[in-house]
Amino acid sequence: MSQKILTANEIGVLWTQYMENSMTLPLLDYFEKTLEDDEIHPLLEVAKQTANNGVSQCTQIFKDEHLPVPDGYGKEDLNPNAPKLFTDAFILNFLEHLGKVGLTSASLSLGTSASEEVRDFFTNRIERQSTLYNQCVELGMNKGLYVRAPQVEIQDQIEYVKGKSYLHPFNKRSLNAIEISHLFENYKTNSIGEVICQGFAQTGKNKTIKKYMREGKNLSIKHRKLFSSVLDESGIQTPMTSSNFLTMATDPVFSDRLMIYLIGVLSSAGHGNYATASSASLRYDLIFTYQRLSVDIAMYAKDGMDIMIKNGWFEEPPQAPDRQQLIQ
């Protein structure tokens, strides 16, 4: 293969894909060892193949471009003998979330890429993540584990906004369908974050990590309850599965650095979700709420980054040369 010069965009998104896929593999290996439901196994296999493909293809592109292959994450970040921590119901929900996050990431990455090889890579990623997401939703619905968004009655005639009061921050009109969608999806993602933080807190041994995970759990609960209360104000109940997602296991499962990195990835996805929801919402109180909660996530993510840097766990992304330093 002839050498090609990748743009900064392409190097950045490929590096991120490598890191996130290498981090996902120990998670999926653990799920595979502890999963009991045979119907979920094929979906787990799809997720593993997708992650393995991401790592191998990124590695090949980096080598072809004479770029260093990141260290990433691996088997050393998993305790293979750890007992079951997450229930099968949570594993299915997590795989659905993984497909959704992967779709968003691959779509954004494709939109910033020019190289045909890189565009083909992300096009393939979108197809794979779509397959995973669709299969998870279908199985979840068949098992009664998929949490559908609220159903509401919609007026039977088209209406036009008749005044600025529709946007007024103190006029809490009933929610429109777009606002309901974002509130509910952010409710769901915080519910997943709450479970993961609780699981990591109860299996972690490092006091700093346990404290950080407890803070993450409390933050997820705070945000989840806020979204639920906004829906309640419009008479919309928040449906949620009653399945228990965690066992009582306390043995360490994942390395501290992997746990912190995963929380960072989820925080970044949540931050993006809030930005999208803020721009799509027409009630100004919702816009202010999303912006305020985004600060919560940013500060929490910064604390996680500080922990990683302090412990030497943060692998530096590729960066441009420091021209000022070269002058000195």
Topology of the domain comprising 171-319: Ferritin (1.20.1260)
Per-residue tens of pLDDT for the chain, all 328 residues: 445 689 999 999 999 999 999 999 999 999 999 999 999 999 999 999 999 999 999 999 999 999 999 999 999 999 999 999 999 999 999 999 999 999 999 999 999 999 999 999 999 999 999 999 999 999 999 999 888 888 887 777 887 877 666 666 667 788 989 999 999 999 999 999 999 999 999 999 999 999 999 999 999 999 999 999 999 998 898 876 656 899 999 999 999 999 999 999 999 999 999 999 999 998 889 999 999 999 999 999 999 999 999 999 999 998 877 777 767 6
Same fold, 1-146 and 171-319: yes
Q: Smallest Cα–Cα separation from 272: which of 11, 10, 16?
A: 16
Consecutive H or E run containing 7: none
Distance CA 16, CA 225 (A): 31
Q: Smallest Cα–Cα separation from 16: which of 145, 83, 109?
A: 109
Cβ neighbours of residue 276 under 8 Å, at least 6 residues apart? 182
Burial class of residue 8 in the structure, from the number of CB atoms within 10 Å of its CB (0-12 exposed, 13-18 middle, 19+ buried): exposed
In tens, the pLDDT along 178-205 reads 999 999 999 999 999 999 999 999 999 9
The Cβ-side half-sphere exposure at 4, using a 13 Å CA radius, reads 14
Distance CA 48, CA 58 (A): 15
Topology of the domain comprising 1-146: Ferritin (1.20.1260)
CA dihedral sign, ordered 280, 281, 285, 286: negative
Could you state, in order of their start, the residue ranges of all structural domains in the chain? 1-146, 171-319
- Tell me how far CA of residue 52 lies from CA of 22, 26, 29, 57, 150, in angstroms: 8, 11, 11, 9, 36
The Cβ-side half-sphere exposure at 270, using a 13 Å CA radius, reads 32
- N residues, the chain: 328
- N- to C-terminal Cα distance for the chain? 39
